[in-house]
Structure 1
Amino acid sequence: MDRIDALKLFTAVAELESFTRAAERMGMTPGAASKQISALEERLQVRLLERTTRSVRLTDAGEALLDRVRPWLTEYEAIEHGLVAESAKAAGTLRVSAPVDFGTSRLIAVVTAFMERWPEVEVRLEFSDRMVDLVDEGYDLAVRIGHLEDSSLIARRLAPAPLAAIAAPSYLERRGTPSHPAELSRHACIIDRNKPAPNQWRFVRGSEVVEARVDGRLILNGARAAVNAACAGAGIACPPEWAAEQALAEGRVVKLLDGWEPDHRDLWAVFPSNRYLAHRVRLFVDFLADWFKGGLCPQGPGTC
């Protein structure tokens, strides 16, 4: 039992003048209650209660302690109940970190819909391609794409986020179309420094895995930039498929290496701990999972 609970027990014994009834209030046995009061007296080096077989009464030291601790406990319980009530409703500020490209193109609509559903929540959505420290920097959660490293953070998978090897028809007319990942070493590839290993592209076909070493004169950072460069004919890019969705639909780029799948990625919601997690954070994580359950489409749930 911690010191606050010990003081609560002492106050209950003083008010009820009974170890048995105080123990019932605190959810313990009378014997355990007696031991806790004895431990409190030993810690304070004073006798707080006079015990007989028929009654319990306060000593002078007990009266003094009760006078001091009762208003403090009342205030503490009010704060405690207020915090519990606050955590049980969808209100307050929600700080979210997300990658720049994905956040600006896919999260704005989600956040807007969430705020319409929960009007008492304020969202601070901050875009950064660096790996923010959620605890030290005060974020409630982060939306991340890729392979997560082991950590103390809690992660919930929201949706698959596959990559796609793409190029513009004009580039393929000049340089030819690769049919195997090994051929990429002979092509101008667009290097995205936001990837963990920007010059190493991994492809899978059934049980076969190929690690393709790629190079190119255009080095940039960002999925959207890589797609735009590919559309301009600068070379072959391997961005997230969601970033190339519109360009593919419009025919400005085409998918390459039929039958081969680039290294798979996933979309995650990451947060420090699910113990004592604010209700607004739980609601937002659930909202994200529902929104993206059909894939990484911009329109919302059920539209992919």
Structure 2
Amino acid sequence: MNVRDLETIGFRTLSIFVTVCQTLNLTQSAELLALPKSTVSKEVSRLEEHLNSRLLERSTRKVSLTEAGKLVYERAFQLVEEFRSLRQDVQSLETQVQGLLKLTAPPVLGEYLAGTLLADFMQQWPKITVALELSYSFDDLFAQGIDLGFRIGQIADDRLVARQIGSSSRILVASPEYLAQHPPVKEPQDLAEHNCLRFQYNPTDTDWVLTCGEHTCSVPVRGNFYCSNIEALKNAALRGLGITQLPVSSAREELENGSLVAVLDGLCVPPMPIYLVYRSGVNKPRKLQALLDFIDQWVAEGKFSFSQ
């Protein structure tokens, strides 16, 4: 290792580079950082020279990341965020947890969390600010700067720490009007004769898997409506378009008032795991650690009842 390899890269340089990566615009980055555009450009060039690699592709119209740039951005973002959290933790002197927590969750789960777990957490830590993004997409926690995500389904990103905190069960429902106008559904195979409203469009996935106790069956279904939004599927079912799968919590009110009826009562879709996920790393910001500890306690006390 030569002397040059031991040279350090300043956090100022990394912070400027991270901002440029997030905006992909040198002028906008300069405005956000209150720096001359020439300074921003020089800092990026200095980082490229130090790493001996082109990190950005620049043109008169746009800025884009190279493959090396994407790798450096991911690592630089973590370093800058950890430094900011360290400074905030030191300044707080262990007296209070504070700062902004950026979270993401699927809409239905997020609505439940906002009125339960997160509300309790923010009452305990009133100096915490929560920004909750509701989305069915599996947001990139690195690119979006998200501290923690709640996700339903298996986690494929091995860069993330994933901890299961519960499960989400779905039941089959339809409106009384739809059921009155179509053949009765007495057993799973009868679903093949009905319009089944699907969560996502996947032409190779034509079966619904149902469980009753320890017994599982797979039923081929068809349908003319697909939507990756639970509320939209529920509205379609309420209008008599067909049979759909809904989380128990999402359909509870409609089942109680009779606007939706359970189909094949006693059968359900196999539960899907609910995970919390966050970026791996030895040192976590105190605000994130406080939330993780709070969730652990909440789950241990049996308060997490999303699937009930």
Q: TM-score, normalised by structure 1?
A: 0.63
Q: Does 1:157 align with 2:170?
A: no
Q: Does 1:218 align with 2:230?
A: no
Whether contact under 8 Å (1:141, 1:271) holds in the other structure is yes
Deviation of 1:261 after TM superposition, in Å, equals: 2.5
Q: Which of the residues 144, 151, 158 maps onto 1:144?
A: 151
Deviation of 1:176 after TM superposition, in Å, equals: 3.1
Unaligned runs of 5+ in 2: 1-83
- Aligned partner of 2:234 in structure 1 is 227
Q: Find the structure with the greater CA-based Rg.
A: 1
User: How many angstroms apart in 2 are the aligned matches of 1:271 and 1:162?
Assistant: 24
Whether contact under 8 Å (2:163, 2:277) holds in the other structure is yes
Whether contact under 8 Å (2:151, 2:275) holds in the other structure is yes
Deviation of 1:169 after TM superposition, in Å, equals: 1.5
User: How many angstroms apart in 2 are the aligned matches of 1:96 and 1:253?
Assistant: 32
User: How many angstroms apart in 1 are the aligned matches of 2:284 and 2:190?
Assistant: 49
Quickly say closer, same or farther: Cα 1:291–1:237, change in 2 above 3 A.
farther
User: How many angstroms apart in 2 are the aligned matches of 1:85 and 1:95?
Assistant: 21
Kindly report which structure 2 residues correspond to 1:131-280, keeping only aligned pairs within 5 A, or say none. 131-149=138-156, 151-193=158-200, 199-273=206-280, 275-280=282-287
Quickly say closer, same or farther: Cα 1:184–1:295, change in 2 above 3 A.
farther
Whether contact under 8 Å (2:112, 2:306) holds in the other structure is yes
Deviation of 1:189 after TM superposition, in Å, equals: 0.9
Q: Does 1:85 align with 2:78?
A: no
Deviation of 1:143 after TM superposition, in Å, equals: 0.8
Deviation of 1:113 after TM superposition, in Å, equals: 3.2
Kindly report which structure 2 residues correspond to 1:282-301, keeping only aligned pairs within 5 A, or say none. 282-291=289-298, 293-296=302-305
Worse-superposed segment, 231-240 or 189-198: 189-198
Whether contact under 8 Å (1:98, 1:129) holds in the other structure is yes
Quickly say closer, same or farther: Cα 1:86–1:270, change in 2 above 3 A.
farther
Deviation of 1:134 after TM superposition, in Å, equals: 0.9
Secondary structure of 1:112's partner?
helix
Cα RMSD, aligned residues only: 3.1
Deviation of 1:286 after TM superposition, in Å, equals: 3.6
Deviation of 1:178 after TM superposition, in Å, equals: 1.6
Quickly say closer, same or farther: Cα 1:196–1:127, change in 2 above 3 A.
farther
Q: Which of the residues 95, 98, 101 maps onto 1:94?
A: 101
Quickly say closer, same or farther: Cα 1:156–1:183, change in 2 above 3 A.
same
User: How many angstroms apart in 1 are the aligned matches of 2:304 and 2:259?
Assistant: 22
Deviation of 1:125 after TM superposition, in Å, equals: 1.2
Deviation of 1:127 after TM superposition, in Å, equals: 1.7
Q: TM-score, normalised by structure 2?
A: 0.62
- Aligned partner of 1:106 in structure 2 is 112
The residue identity in structure 1 corresponding to 2:261 is V
Quickly say closer, same or farther: Cα 1:159–1:284, change in 2 above 3 A.
same
Deviation of 1:123 after TM superposition, in Å, equals: 1.2
User: How many angstroms apart in 1 are the aligned matches of 2:121 and 2:201?
Assistant: 29
